[in-house]
Amino acid sequence: MTKAEKVIKGLECCGSLMDCASCPYDGEDNGCFTILKGDALKLLKERQWVSVKDRLPDPNNFVLTIDKLGFFYMDRVNKNGKWDEQDSSFNPVTHWMPLPEPPKEEV
């Protein structure tokens, strides 16, 4: 189960008053809802756009980027702090965010 799937399942359980035993957060020592809330907030922050003025992603990690014209690309920053795919002098990247987790195929 991915982190996002765990948070979604936990929210579904709390929102529908399902049996807590089916919740992936059931039995947490510090209170299941407190941990669920923390995980949900962290996941939301990870999925927000980050301005390149604030910080760049770690080198060589692919991220989703958007440029000044509103085009989306998958790109990465090299060890010199430059984007690999875009010509930043012509159409600079303005924001980036981590790529989502890929879907898991059910067997």
33-86 pLDDT per residue, tens:
788 888 888 887 777 899 999 999 999 899 999 988 888 888 999 888 888 876
Six-digit token pair at 98? Answer: 């981590």
The two three-digit tokens of residue 16, written as one number: 């529908």
Q: Report yes or no: 22 and 12 within 8 Å, Cβ to Cβ.
A: no
Question: How far is Cα 87 from Cα 48, in angstroms, rounded to an integer?
Answer: 24
d(CA 77, CA 64): 11
Tokens describing residue 84: 């690999």
**Cut 0.95: pTM above it:** no
- Cα-only R_g, the chain: 18
